[in-house]
Amino acid sequence: MTARPTHLAAAAAARLAETGVPSARVDAEILLAEALGIDRGRIPVADDPTAAQRDAYEALIARRAAREPLQHILGRAYFGPLTLAVGPGVFVPRPETELLAVWAARQVHHGAAIVDLCAGSGALGLYLAATVPESRVVLVERDPAALDYLERNVAAATFAGTVTVVAADVRDPDLPGRLTGLLGTVDLVVSNPPYVPDGADLDREAAADPAAALFSGADGLDLIRALAPLAAGLLAGGGAVGVEHDDGNGAGAARLLAGAGFAGVEQHRDLAGRPRYVTGRMDA
């Protein structure tokens, strides 16, 4: 007996909802489109799936019902105009971070020099490389697993400038020496660093991200403590910085930027009204 795609999606959505998946209907439809090899919007008019397609869909839904992140199942995440390779070992970019990316793109012009610290999959830096013409973007990431995804995303991205990957830890005291040619010449620094306080409770999907990309000391500010003065050195010739943070750390992150010499420090909220990122400027 065949089943219409819409009926399969409805049954799968109910199953996912029972397991606590917060976006059950959307995820069920995305995975069905994946199994059928069609766009999600074509599900209502799609042909009945074959037995092989139904089996493939069942396998995908079983993984999502076990709370494996949707992006891990698909092997990709969407961020602005980008389709990024992601999976176990790299932080999955969140839609909220696009607010920082949009803000950042508005701060610079053609040919800007940009550094993305704690780049992960490359979401922020590659967004800027794709949207700021002739930009020169440096992506700094320390974790070998994340670097593998980062290199793949750089190779697959389309941009009109240059992108360079630097394998380094922002806490390394020798890093400024490795970036000597950039010190004082950068126009913009962005970062979505690890910022979750140690021991914080996470939902099952978030907990699938690597711990090194999540946790940052007792108050969640350890990485921001390290990158604030580094960003100040990179921007010594004048420019802007934007850093994402835990929603309980807006004031703390702002103090760290101000303490590193940034002026005009501002806290920004996401679309849900939660504190999301801080920005500042360094005068030449």
CA angle 149-23-275, nearest 5°?
70
Residue 41 in tokens: 């919007």
Q: Is 193 annotated as a binding residue?
A: yes
The reply to whether 141 sits in an annotated binding site is: yes
Alpha-carbon distance of 125 to 284, in angstroms, equals 23
Does 195 count as an annotated binding residue? Answer: yes
Euclidean distance between CA atoms 284 and 278, whole angstroms:
20
Helix pair 123-131, 97-105: axis angle to 10 deg: 30
**Long-range CB contacts (within 8 A, 24+) of 2-8:** 2/48, 2/49, 3/48, 3/49, 3/54, 4/48, 5/32, 5/36, 5/43, 5/44, 5/46, 5/48, 5/49, 6/43, 6/44, 8/32, 8/49, 8/54, 8/57
Binding-site residues for substrate, in ranges, read 192-195
Binding-site positions read: 141, 192-195
Binding residues for S-adenosyl-L-methionine: 141, 192
